[in-house]
Amino acid sequence: METVDSSSIPAKLRERLASAQKVLVLTGAGVSAESGVPTFRGGGNSAVWKGMPFDLISSAEMVERDLNAVWEWFDYRRDLLRDLKPNSAHEAIAIWQDRFSEFTLVTQNVDGLHQQAGSRDVVEVHGSIWRARCVACQEAIEIPRNGPRPNECQSCGERVRPDVVLFGELLPPGAFEYAAHMVANCEICFVVGTSALVYPAASLPEIAKANGALLCEVNSERTPLSNFCDFVLTGKAGELLPLLNSDL
């Protein structure tokens, strides 16, 4: 393992990236935090919305108990995100879309900033705050950034809920399986801005390593994944990732 700071990128990593064709990037909250996106994850049972902790207001239980309260919470979150812009990390990753013959972006974030930066076919393992989903037929409905949120399904008239993975729910069908297939066949796997603690997405770096990929972590601080990686780039993703693009 080689650890560096934001002032240098290892020559070996530059060389591997320059010759690579199959690259996968897994991103987490740290990338979006640089755009001002709050994580809302306080310690213990900290109240984040009307006296309720994060893991209650953002739970499958609350969808059943009080869907209106859940929507109030997610409407509030969307209001906070509405005017935020992608940062240089999002933009650097978007450039890779056309640089590598096989590029996969998997994100645990629900804010849509990768798409705003130009990334396509993003694998959103935790869903999107900019979509609703019918509780009956499961149809997904886009939520406009500057328009009214849908209250019912256009196809069947049933209630809709946020199209995000809540506490107590499984990942979207096929999302993790696709990501696992792609990471098992990549040459380089970047893990950017995530603590590598939330499973099953956190198992993707393990799959990459087990299949011979070079594993590189980009984070502002060390994580449980750090000792497992070939390279650890310590610093802000918005500063480090553009440095990697200088040779491409």
- Which of the four pLDDT bands, split at 50, 70 and 90, describes residue 6? very low
- Tens of pLDDT, residue by residue over 125-135, are 999 999 999 99
Count of the separate structural domains present in the chain:
1
The reported pLDDT for the residue numbered 112 is 97
- Tens of pLDDT, residue by residue over 161-204, are 999 999 999 888 899 999 999 999 999 999 999 977 778 888 99
> DSSP secondary structure string, the chain?
-EEE-TT---HHHHHHHHH-SEEEEEE-HHHHHTTT------STT-EEETTEEHHHHTBHHHHHH-HHHHHHHHHHHHHHHTT----HHHHHHHHHHHHSSEEEEEE---S-HHHHHT--S-EETTEEEEEEEETTT--EEE--TTSPPP-B-TTT--BEEEEEPPBT-PPPTTHHHHHHHHHHT-SEEEEES--S-STTGGGHHHHHHHTT-EEEEEESS--TTGGG-SEEEES-HHHHHHHHHTT-
CATH number where 196 lies: 3.40.50.1220
Q: Is 145 among the domain residues?
A: no
Q: Is 66 among the domain residues?
A: no
Would you name the residues annotated as active-site residues?
126
- Tens of pLDDT, residue by residue over 92-118, are 999 999 999 999 999 999 999 999 999
Structural domain of residue 30, as residue ranges?
Answer: 2-37+85-126+170-245
Q: Is 53 among the domain residues?
A: no
Percentage of the chain beyond pLDDT 90 is 79
Q: Is 142 among the domain residues?
A: no
- Tens of pLDDT, residue by residue over 192-220, are 999 777 788 889 999 999 999 999 999 99
pTM of this prediction? Answer: 0.92
Average pLDDT, the chain: 91
